[in-house]
Structure 1
Amino acid sequence: MDETEGTGRTRGISRAQFLAGAAAVGIAGVAGQARAVDAPHGRGLRRRGVVYTVGAGETPGTAWSARRMRHDIRAIRDGLRADTVDVTGDGVERLTTTAAEAAERGLHVWLQPTLGDAPQRDILEHMAETGRFAERLRKHGASVDFSVGCEFWLFVPGILPGGTALERIENLRNGTVDRPTTLRRLTAFTAKAARTGRSVFKGNLSYAAAQDIDDPDWNLFDIVGIDYYSYFRKRSDHVRELKQYLRWGKPLAVTEFGTCAYAGAPETGGMGWDVVDYDKQPPEIKGDLVRSERVQADHVGGLLDVFASMGLYAAMAFEFISADAPHRPDAPRLDLDMASYALTKVIKDRPDDPSSGWHWEPKEAFHAVARRYGAAGHRTVQSQ
């Protein structure tokens, strides 16, 4: 999963640098057993979704609120035409309240707690409590999949040295990582997470792995989950790359995909967000980037076409909203939305006031996704 603003992730880190570090460590997963579920089923996505993050936000004005969440969930269903919400972030109450709202609105729920930089016991307890709620939803007839988290090697302390994700990335870059120890710790925590998930949730279990970094043994889970940020000019190259994740004979869910709203963003892969200078106050966009919602829309729409052609289980566009990255049409240098993967843009009533109220408006990528999701939903209804 990418290090993005407003999600409790790190900022200002070169993904290329920690990709190189992770490759040097040779992180890989562990073996286990999971029940079989349906593999790819032919043309069309089975689940058409979007990531909705429920983190605390950077300011009180951008923090999660039940009122805004309910409005957003309705927009996801009726405007974006999605049938799935990937409810992710930390805070059991935020996660469960959002999941319940989505289920009540008839949406499929992909529930993924992502508490990071906390003691492992706390992370597992947070996961278990969220999973128990997911099971209650499932027993009451809601459509729910449960993911035990994402990228444990980076966000869970005690696998790599370092007290925070920033410190762990720095240790990867410096080569101060003992490979056998790292693999042993990752194996142990992944197994604990899978056991914890199984103990509280009886539906399909998954995990969101970082593409090209995190390589778990998917026998532990029912659904393969990949955060996918590759860039190819040819769609056939995307198909070729994604096919490697089908070798397990399990459904494949693209748990994140997308890009930012400026020219050249897709070519940066998962590093599109890394164009903000946070040492300045207020933060500024670095360089002379050219805002382009069309670039974002074309990339996101093209990837959805690829996923549909492969008949994947699910795809969750990253992400619905990024409240801490407001759009500034009057000041391109301060237009943090350029560095956001969100399908919507946040407009503040008073742009220079941190406590200002705000609303969101759809970006071109929102409409590109809505057209595809709406058409796919119409075809599904006709085939029933």
Structure 2
Amino acid sequence: MDIIAEQLHCTTVMLIGSDQQRLITAARTALEAGLGVYIRPHVPDLAQPKLLAHLDAVAQAAEELRQDHPEKLTLLVGSEFSHTAPGIVPGPRSFLRLKLILRYRRMLRRRINRRLHDLLTAAAATARRRFHGPLTYSAAGWEDVDWTLFDLVGVSLYRGRRNQATYTDRLRGLVREHVKPVVITEFGCGAFTGADQRGAGSFQIVNWFAATPRIRGDHPRDEAVQARYLGELIDQYNAEGVHGCFVFTYAMPDFPHRNDPQHDLDRAGFGVVAVSEDGSCRPKQAFHEVARHYGNFAGHDDPASGTRR
């Protein structure tokens, strides 16, 4: 947290996880480091009644912490419920539901919107019974959310080949259409040639079914691609009046950096820090690019420049 605050010059961190106690402990540590905190419970594939019960417990713990740190805590009710929560589209697992949405999104749109609205209405009511600070949600790009339920508009907005031509219009539309502050809850890409064209799909160059997961095909490591992508979008968000943005992400230990190019999974991950198998960490070019941009905001009213952790 000290590195995120002092070296990356972040003002805010988003904490994501399923363990309530770890979330609150991490939030307390971040607050002590001088960071604002967005708490985001993440319990994919949990049945909706249990999801709401978990949210209720997190909201209560978050409110207790908020009372000691007013104006510093924001709670998210969750993220991308259209595939992370069972019951909105068919499928036993989040990954399979996501594949179904990506393939048949137009056919499923009305069903997604109707069932998503019902769940978000219940989630917002559950959270507000306990938590009395700002509330939001991390929406997928295809989700149509009723933002009257929340205090901020939160959208994951990756740029890639498919939406490159329309990305700026989409961003401007979000800011123009909403009186409430707009926060980009995720953006990022991998660190290899062409990762900027893949955006959120950067991880797909990994063959996860191999005995030891390995990189498919020829994707040379190129940290400059990731650094340039993040820098461009931070500048764009600032120019378009976005309230805040969260780089995805600080580090991904499940995508270890290895010297063997075929098994260097870090290039397919989104971390601005590379983590080796022995646990050692190294800042990537993206780390220094993010630090430079956020450092330029120091002393200005920039409420939520941050990174996910």
What TM-score comes out, normalization by structure 1 length?
0.73
The counterpart of 2:289, out of the listed 346, 368, 376, is 368
After superposition, the Cα gap between the structure-2 partners of 1:179 and 1:311, relative to the gap in structure 1 and judged at 3 Å, is closer
| Deviation per residue, 1:188-213 (Å, 9 max, x gap) | 111101111211111111000111x1
Q: Is the 8 A contact 2:113 2:144 kept in 1?
A: no
- What secondary structure sits across from 2:280 in the alignment? strand
Structure 1 stretches of 5 or more lacking a match? 1-72, 350-357
Specify the alignment match of 1:223 in structure 2.
152
Aligned to 2:264: 335
Amino acid in structure 1 at the alignment position of 2:88: I
Structure 1 partner of 2:232: 302
SS in structure 2 opposite 1:210?
Answer: coil
Deviation readout 1:7-51 (Å, 9 max, x if unpaired): xxxxxxxxxxxxxxxxxxxxxxxxxxxxxxxxxxxxxxxxxxxxx
Deviation at 1:180, TM superposition (A): 5.3
CA RMSD of the aligned region, Å? 2.4
What is the match of residue 292 of structure 1? 222
Residue type matched to 2:90 in 1? P
Q: How does 1:166-177 map onto structure 2 within 5 Å?
A: 166-169=95-98, 171-172=100-101
Verify the 8 A CA contact 1:238 1:306 in the aligned structure 2. Answer: no
Give a deviation string over 1:117-138, Cα, whole Å, max 9, x none. 1121221121121112221222
Distance 2:262 2:115 in 1: 43
**2:119 paired residue number:** 189
Relative to structure 2, which stretch is displaced further, 137-146 or 176-185? 176-185
Per the alignment, residue 323 of structure 1 pairs with 253
Q: Residue 182 of structure 1: CA displacement? A: 4.4
Counterpart code for 1:332: P
Indicate if the aligned counterparts of 1:273 and 1:340 stay in contact, CA closer than 8 A: yes
1:141 corresponds to which residue? 69
The answer to whether residue 34 in structure 2 is matched with residue 106 in structure 1 is: yes
- Provide the secondary structure at the position in 2 that maps to 1:250: coil
Q: Over residues 307-364 of structure 1, what are the superposed CA-to-partner deviations in whole Å (9 max), with x where a residue is unaligned?
A: 11123211000000101111112x1000000100110001223xxxxxxxx1111000
Would you say 1:96 and 2:28 are equivalent positions?
no
Distance 1:375 1:140, change over 3 A: same
Paired with 1:171 and 1:243, the residues of 2 have a C-alpha distance of 29
Q: CA deviation at 1:284?
A: 0.7
Corresponding letter in the other structure for 2:280: H
In structure 2, distance between residues paired with 1:173 and 1:265: 19
For residue 203 of structure 2, give the secondary structure of its aligned residue in structure 1.
Answer: coil
TM, length-normalised to structure 2:
0.90
Number of matched pairs: 299
The 2-side partners of 1:85 and 1:257 are apart by 14
- Report the counterpart of residue 258 of structure 1 in structure 2: 188
Larger RCO (CA under 8 A, 6+ residues apart): 1
Q: Equivalent residue of 1:341, what SS? A: coil
Instruction: State how far apart, in whole Å, the 2-side matches of 1:167 and 1:347 are.
Output: 30
How far the C-alpha of 1:171 sits from its partner, in A, is 4.5
Q: For the Cα contact (< 8 Å) 1:111–1:147, is it kept in 2?
A: yes
Alignment of 1:1-384 (within 5 A): 73-142=1-70, 143-169=72-98, 171-172=100-101, 181-211=111-141, 213-231=142-160, 238-246=167-175, 247-329=177-259, 331-349=260-278, 358-379=279-300
Structure 1 179/228 Cα, relative in aligned 2: closer, same or farther at 3 Å?
closer
User: 1:231 and 1:146 mapped to 2: Cα distance?
Assistant: 28
Q: Partners of 1:264 and 1:190 in 2: how far apart?
A: 36
Q: Distance in 2 between matches of 1:173 and 1:302?
A: 26
The letter for the 2-side match of 1:257 is: F
Aligned to 2:307: none
Consecutive unaligned residues in structure 2, runs of 5 or more:
303-309
Q: Deviation at 1:105?
A: 1.4
Q: How far apart, in 2, do the equivalents of 1:179 and 1:251 lie?
A: 26
Amino acid corresponding to residue 361 of structure 1 in structure 2: R
> How far apart, in 2, do the equivalents of 1:155 and 1:236 lie?
28
Taking only the aligned residue pairs, the percentage that are identical comes to: 35
